[in-house]
Amino acid sequence: MFVISEMINGMYQKVARAIQAKDAQVIQALAKEQVDAGADALDVNCGPASREPVKDMCWLVETIQSVVSVPLSLDSTKLEVIEEGLKTAKNRTIINSSSADIERLQKYIAIAKKYNSSLIALTMDKKGVPQDKDRRLELAAQILACAQENDFPTDEIYLDPIVLPVNVAQKQLSDTLEAIRDFKMLASPAPKTVVGLSNVSQGSTQRSLINRTFLIMAQAHGLDAAILDPLDKDLMDVLITSELILDRNIYCDSFIDAYKKSKSR
């Protein structure tokens, strides 16, 4: 499982304040802590309160990459913010994210090619988030066809079925899981899949329990990557144990430590 840490997001007050005050130490401590906890990449989002998102994104990228060298997932709804972040980034990048709207997607694919970046594409369009699995598959097929037409490798696309909170869209979660499984059959080489895991528990009590239960199920449906909180130890332990059960790493009595060592950099 490719772990993308969700913590460097202006949605968190501590991060929003650090961005506002340009307090590098707070951001750098967070970045190091996430990587030490097992993050393979860091999601970077200035948050809704940022008044100068281009400037803030570039500052975040520079601040983070001076202490860790993992790939950065540049998370913004504005292409301009993402592109300036891509120019600033030294290491590998993931664009987070495009929708399935063809015009938008073509622009994002062109930018992904130009900066040699992977691309997260959400299975939603102007009509909004799909209500069922079939619509998710239809939009995923549209995304992959567009990648192929534009000579962008389908395995550099991370399809995101959009996880909705269980307390408002309970009926959708089994469809979301099945979509994760079925996306793989839509192109060769198979696309990758990603979810924003913490979405599932927003507004609920028992957040950690809901997150880890959904993660296990998504892993069983073949999920490749997740945006999550790697400091949630119970979550990381079930992530590692699921990989073991799915035969992605070899059993030994200390399999959790062995997995962590294999990832430590």
Strand partners, 98: 121
What is the rounded CA–CA span in Å between residue 234 and residue 215? 11
Residue 66 is a binding residue for ligand THG (CB under 6 A): no
Q: Which stretch binds ligand THG (CB under 6 A): 102-110, 197-205, 217-225, 247-255?
A: 197-205
Structure tokens at 205: 């009590």
How many residues touch ligand THG under the rule CB under 6 A: the total is 17
Residue 6 is a binding residue for ligand THG (CB under 6 A): yes
Considering beta carbons, is residue 163 or 240 the nearer one to ligand THG?
163
Over the window 84 to 103, marking each residue x when it contacts ligand THG by CB under 6 A and - when it does not, the resulting string is ------------xx------
Structure tokens at 58: 């570039």
Q: Which stretch binds ligand THG (CB under 6 A): 9-17, 76-84, 108-116, 143-151?
A: 9-17
Helix (H) or strand (E) holding 8: strand 2-9
Q: Which stretch binds ligand THG (CB under 6 A): 166-174, 175-183, 192-200, 231-239?
A: 192-200
Q: How far is the CB of 176 from ligand THG (least distance, A)?
A: 11
Which residue is nearest to ligand THG, using beta carbons?
196
If we measure between CA atoms, which residue out of 83, 35, 21, 77 comes closest to residue 58? 83
Query: How many C-beta atoms surround the C-beta of residue 27 within 10 A?
Result: 22
Phi, psi of 119 (to 5 degrees): -135, 125
What is the rounded CA–CA span in Å between residue 253 and residue 234? 18
What is the rounded CA–CA span in Å between residue 176 and residue 173? 5
Instruction: Using CB under 6 A, pick the residue from 83, 101, 160, 224 that binds ligand THG.
Output: 160
Strand partners, 130: none
Question: Is residue 98 helix, strand or coil?
Answer: strand
Residue 34 is a binding residue for ligand THG (CB under 6 A): no
Structure tokens at 256: 């959790």
Q: Which stretch binds ligand THG (CB under 6 A): 11-19, 21-29, 34-42, 140-148?
A: 11-19
Residue 198 is a binding residue for ligand THG (CB under 6 A): yes
Q: In the complex, which residues of this chain contact ligand THG (CB under 6 A)?
A: 6, 9, 11-13, 43, 75, 96-97, 120, 160, 163, 196, 198-199, 202, 227
